[in-house]
Amino acid sequence: HLQTLDGLDGANRLSLFLARSDALARLQPLVADGLLSSHPVREPKQTFSLFTWLNNGGAVMDWLISGIDPDHAGQDRIPTVVVSIGDFGGWLKLSRTHLA
């Protein structure tokens, strides 16, 4: 992530991070606190929140996201590798209703 940000604005975040052996130990608690205290992260809105409330919500999102071709990012509808909702639900032990 740091390399990507540096590529966007020419900064040197990655080299600064790598120069400090304690950087991760100092940064991780701040990031964790920020995520845990963020209302939008804990309670996302609209369709995304449906997936996060499922017991297997993480698996659903991971499967859908990993099945997206980056070349399709600009389309209004983005196809995934999920062909059958029934088969997908069977793999996750969820009903089609939970995935709809």
- Mind listing the pLDDT tens digit for each residue in 23-55? 999 999 999 888 888 887 767 666 665 555 555
Contacts 24+ apart (CB under 8 A), 87-94: 88/63, 92/56, 92/59, 92/60, 93/56, 94/54, 94/56
The pTM (predicted TM-score) of the whole model is: 0.39
Enumerate residues 6+ apart whose C-beta is below 8 A from 27. Answer: 17
State both tokens at 43: 């309670």
Element (H, E) at 97: helix 96-99
- On whether the CB atoms of residues 90 and 84 are closer than 8 A, the answer is no
- pLDDT > 70 fraction of the chain, expressed in percent and rounded: 83
